[in-house]
Amino acid sequence: RKEVEQDPGPFNVPEGATVAFNCTYSNSASQSFFWYRQDCRKEPKLLMSVYSSGNEDGRFTAQLNRASQYISLLIRDSKLSDSATYLCVVLDLNDYKLSFGAGTTVTVRA
């Protein structure tokens, strides 16, 4: 079983739509969680950290469910510029090992 699993998508949505997807992790000792965005042939860039109580950054909302070991990302009012691959990243602070999901591809169409 992979340490971090994501629905690869693609999620094809019209502009203005809401899209949400999850990421599950297998290591219950995982302590930090992040969502990264990666555009085609570029390096990943931090979108947002995920806090225990859930957090929002503009149109993006991240949630953490420790009991079920998943995190989620919701994008409201999708823009064309939101088209990208979204990577889930889990950090184990015991050994500073980071584990990546394979990414969820989102395509927003006009």
- The residues of the shown chain that bind another protein, judged by CB under 8 A, are 4, 6, 31-32, 34, 36, 41-46, 49, 87, 89, 91, 93, 95-103
Of residues 33 and 108, the one with the C-beta less far from another protein: 33
Of residues 17 and 98, the one with the C-beta less far from another protein: 98
What separation in angstroms does the CA of 87 have from each of 47, 51, 55, 98, 110? Answer: 9, 16, 17, 12, 24
- The residues, ordered by sequence, that sit 6+ positions from 84 with a Cβ below 8 Å of its Cβ are 37, 38, 39, 105, 106
- The residues, ordered by sequence, that sit 6+ positions from 101 with a Cβ below 8 Å of its Cβ are 2, 4, 5, 6, 23, 87, 88, 89
Q: How far is the CB of 36 from another protein (least distance, A)?
A: 8
Q: How far is the CB of 8 from another protein (least distance, A)?
A: 8
Of residues 37 and 82, the one with the C-beta less far from another protein: 37
Q: How far is the CB of 19 from another protein (least distance, A)?
A: 19
Q: How far is the CB of 103 from another protein (least distance, A)?
A: 6
